[in-house]
Amino acid sequence: MVDNYGDAGFSWRLTRRLTEILASNHFTVNENKVRLFCDDIPLIKKLAGEAIIAKLMSLGLRIESWDHAEQIIKPNEMPEVVLETFSCDLPELYLTQITDSLLINVEYLSAEPWIEDMHGLATLPSLPNQHPRYFYYPGFNNRTGGLLGPSEPFSTDANNSKVLNELFKEIRTESSVISIFNYGENNFIDFLDQLMNQGTKADLFICYGKAQEAVTKWLGKPFNRPIDLDQIRLIPTPFVNQEEYDALLARCDLNWVRGEDSFVRAQWAAKPFIWDIYPQEDQVHLEKLDAFLNIYLPKDNLQLAQKIINMMKNHAVDTWWNDLSNINSYAQEWANTLHSSQLDADLGVRIINFIKPLLKKG
């Protein structure tokens, strides 16, 4: 895993989605329909939650240690398909045993146009007697692999989460509610300073991890309980599972997200969001941000588009804050657009449809 929650989060959601699809379509496959290999199983269990893992295991899911991958394959249990997420090469000994398996690398999500040309292409095998490895690119249109959609209705009702209900007891009336799950960089601290200076009444859920660490450093004292600073209230938020986090996004007025998984969930939540994109060398990440904004921004309202740019690129808060309600309306329109583009199939269904003809080829 490169970015913990983003990489592990997407891998888990994909695993869950594939398990759900295979179960609902009654595919005749081996008893263990889906296996997830991961180098941090405790994190997967925290992201998923006990109830969801138990349900999926009853549908044939197994979660295995990355270090034991090569020990688990048996001659009569060769997988038909092996998915590698984010170019994480599987152990070489494992690869040498699965030479008859279809290999697919599920790449990072991007809105850059070039992925449409690369999606579905194959590369030469890296080992003798191995099949080609195919590259599968998630994306925002039908010329790509799509996005992971919502999960099946057997999921628990995260809106009744005790953790979230306790957190929302801290919310004040007529206050803007913001969730913060970012990398805790200087632009986040500038954001806090500006909210205080302009007297904005806002309650901020500061999520576990880098954001809380940044606030602790900014305060210069422990941050283990809600703290009021002028008109803003900072609320430390514990690690929650994915369903609870999705519910949190849906109940906030603004969400600051990062990486890939929370970025997509923020869009499904249909609320304004700031994407703290994972920083890369040579500022390549800013090209990815611009590529997304190119498809995301409204084409018929340049004034609103500029407000969203100001928000996304961490310009002065007073250049966009007063238009948050209009940005919210547009976020709902965008979510509807995403739903419409995936009515036939989300990433989970599309990847299975991608696999079927390749398996027939042998």
Coil, strand or helix: which one is 362? coil
Coil, strand or helix: which one is 193? helix
Compute the Cα dihedral for 288, 294, 295, 297 and give only its sign.
positive
User: 207 with 180: CB under 8 angstroms?
Assistant: yes
Burial of 355 (0-12, 13-18, 19+ CB in 10 A): middle
Measured between alpha carbons, how far is 191 from 232 in angstroms, rounded to an integer?
Answer: 12
Q: Within 13 Å, how many C-alpha atoms sit on residue 144's CB side?
A: 21
Measured between alpha carbons, how far is 30 from 36 in angstroms, rounded to an integer?
Answer: 15
* Contacts (Cβ under 8 Å, ≥6 apart) of 354: 104, 120, 134, 136, 145
Measured between alpha carbons, how far is 3 from 19 in angstroms, rounded to an integer?
Answer: 24
107 has catalytic annotation: no
Catalytic residue among 7, 84, 203, 244: 7
185 has catalytic annotation: no
Name the β-bridge partners of 233. Answer: 203, 228
* Structure tokens belonging to residue 311: 């928000």
Catalytic residue among 84, 243, 260, 261: 260
CB atoms within 10 A of CB 354: 16
* Structure tokens belonging to residue 59: 């549908």
Which residues are identified as catalytic? 7, 260
